């Protein structure tokens, strides 16, 4: 993670003690990437058939737990590899600033994985055991994103893998467990969501560019340079909204889905907040706005699918 010359990042980021320590460890601003795909996939299934509320809730909780565990693996392995210190921005800071044992963080991540597995067993019993294979792959990706000998997060493929597994795969699973089929429409629908999730990862890497470069990472942001990476982020947003418009015209999404374009103002705000910034703390608002863009877009798409069932 990137580091800056601040006497106290803890004070600058208004980090508090108590339960706030554990809440920060989850990196709540990233959890939108696990909630939105499940919601969108389930609401798309609702346009085809009735849905099982318990399956939806189990899938939602399992997805959140896997994302939170992935964040904890990130916290743990970045500390073990010496990439994080008390000045690092964009992390929970549980280990380097709050003194929580690294082993405690690792055990908590594994516990979250264990609960997700139990939820996955229930989901498989109610749908198909093929879901178990896909679920294991998702958890393996969550671990390998920052763990293992060749962490994906340190390569140019972090955005691609994140978007695919957390966007396309999770939406596909959420749809399949409700309908028992997988259609081309749901795959097409997943692409804009996958792009927005990849955008969260890219914005994180733009913020951390200098520190990541010093530590030998080869992210897309580093390969493109900060200015071009911001331009590429804008291109990703334009692509996602263009696909959404095409889907509405083609009938893949209902006319109500034009509501999703209300989030375009937040996407534009992301680019404005990044431009001209080089300090990690200065870019934190842009990073947060990227997560909010994903949330707004995903919730509006899901809401439009829900409303289309009644009108």
Assess contact for 274 and 233: CB atoms under 8 A.
yes
User: Given pLDDT bands bounded at 50, 70 and 90, which one contains residue 290?
Assistant: very high
pLDDT, mean over the chain = 88
**Cα(297)–Cα(264) distance, rounded to whole angstroms?**
8
Among 234, 299, 222, which Cα is nearest to 269's?
A: 234
Phi/psi class of residue 6: alpha, beta or left (left: φ > 0; alpha: ψ in -120 to 50)? beta
Distances (CA, A) of 248 to 42, 169, 305: 18, 22, 11
What was the pLDDT predicted at 89?
A: 59
Q: Does 143 score more than 80 pLDDT?
A: yes
Where is pLDDT greater, at 193 or 10? Answer: 193
User: Given pLDDT bands bounded at 50, 70 and 90, which one contains residue 6?
Assistant: very low
Q: Does 84 score more than 90 pLDDT?
A: no
**Mean pLDDT of the 120-134 span:** 93
Please name the residue ranges forming H helices in 85-207: 102-126, 130-144, 158-162, 170-179, 184-207
Where is pLDDT greater, at 83 or 209? Answer: 209
CA atoms within 13 A on the CB side of 6: 18
User: Given pLDDT bands bounded at 50, 70 and 90, which one contains residue 2?
Assistant: very low
**Mean pLDDT of the 121-142 span:** 91
Phi and psi at residue 99, in whole multiples of 5°? 75, 15
Among 201, 120, 125, which Cα is nearest to 159's?
A: 201
CA atoms within 13 A on the CB side of 98: 22
Lowest mean pLDDT among 97-101, 139-143, 203-207: 97-101
**Mean pLDDT of the 24-50 span:** 90
Q: What are 291-307's pLDDT values in tens digits?
A: 999 999 999 999 999 99
Domain boundaries, the chain: 18-307
User: Given pLDDT bands bounded at 50, 70 and 90, which one contains residue 80?
Assistant: confident
User: Given pLDDT bands bounded at 50, 70 and 90, which one contains residue 92?
Assistant: low
Q: Which two tokens stand for residue 193?
A: 């969501």
Q: What are 198-238's pLDDT values in tens digits?
A: 999 999 899 889 888 887 889 999 999 999 999 999 999 99
Q: Does 183 score more than 90 pLDDT?
A: yes
Assess contact for 38 and 177: CB atoms under 8 A.
no
Assess contact for 87 and 3: CB atoms under 8 A.
yes
What was the pLDDT predicted at 271?
A: 96
Assess contact for 44 and 305: CB atoms under 8 A.
yes
What was the pLDDT predicted at 146?
A: 78
* DSSP code of residue 146: T
Q: Does 147 score more than 90 pLDDT?
A: no
What was the pLDDT predicted at 227?
A: 94
Task: Count Cβ atoms below 10 Å from residue 28 Cβ, excluding itself.
Answer: 13
Tell which CATH classification among 3.30.70, 1.25.40, 1.10.600, 1.20.58 matches the domain 18-307. 1.10.600
**Mean pLDDT of the 31-36 span:** 90
What was the pLDDT predicted at 7?
A: 45
Q: Does 154 score more than 70 pLDDT?
A: yes
Q: Which two tokens stand for residue 70?
A: 């992935």
Among 28, 15, 33, which Cα is nearest to 168's?
A: 33
**Would you say the pTM of this structure is higher than 0.85?**
yes
Q: Does 48 score more than 80 pLDDT?
A: yes
Q: Does 249 score more than 90 pLDDT?
A: yes
**Cα(266)–Cα(171) distance, rounded to whole angstroms?**
23
**Cα(43)–Cα(174) distance, rounded to whole angstroms?**
9
Looking up tokens 């997560």, which residue turns up? 291
User: Given pLDDT bands bounded at 50, 70 and 90, which one contains residue 18?
Assistant: low
User: Given pLDDT bands bounded at 50, 70 and 90, which one contains residue 45?
Assistant: very high
């Amino acid at each position: 993670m990137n580091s800056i010359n601040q006497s106290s990042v803890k004070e600058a980021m208004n980090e508090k003690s108590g339960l706030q320590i554990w809440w920060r460890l989850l990196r709540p601003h990233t959890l939108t990437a696990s909630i939105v795909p499940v919601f969108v996939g389930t609401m798309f299934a609702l346009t085809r058939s009735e849905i099982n509320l318990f399956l939806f809730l189990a899938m939602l909780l399992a997805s959140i737990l896997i994302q939170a565990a992935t964040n904890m693996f990130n916290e743990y392995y970045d500390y073990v590899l010496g990439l994080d210190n008390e000045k690092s921005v964009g992390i929970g800071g549980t280990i380097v600033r709050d003194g929580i044992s690294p082993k405690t963080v690792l055990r908590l991540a594994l516990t979250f994985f264990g609960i997700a597995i139990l939820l996955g067993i229930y989901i498989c019993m109610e749908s198909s055991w093929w879901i178990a294979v896909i679920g294991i792959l998702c958890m393996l990706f969550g671990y390998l994103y920052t763990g293992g000998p060749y962490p994906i997060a340190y390569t140019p493929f972090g955005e691609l893998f994140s978007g695919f597994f957390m966007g396309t795969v999770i939406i596909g699973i959420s749809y399949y467990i409700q309908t028992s089929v997988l259609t081309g429409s749901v795959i097409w629908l997943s692409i804009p969501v996958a792009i927005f999730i990849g955008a969260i990862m890219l914005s994180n890497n733009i913020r951390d560019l200098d520190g990541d470069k010093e530590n030998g990472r080869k992210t897309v942001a580093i390969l493109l340079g900060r200015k071009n990476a911001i331009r590429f982020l804008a291109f990703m947003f334009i692509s996602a909204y263009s696909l959404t418009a095409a889907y509405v015209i083609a009938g893949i999404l209902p006319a109500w889905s034009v509501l999703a374009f209300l989030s375009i103002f937040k996407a534009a705000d992301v680019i404005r907040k990044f431009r001209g910034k080089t300090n990690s703390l200065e870019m934190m608002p842009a990073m947060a706005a990227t997560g909010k863009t994903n949330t707004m877009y995903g919730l509006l798409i899901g809401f439009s699918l829900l409303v289309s069932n009644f009108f």
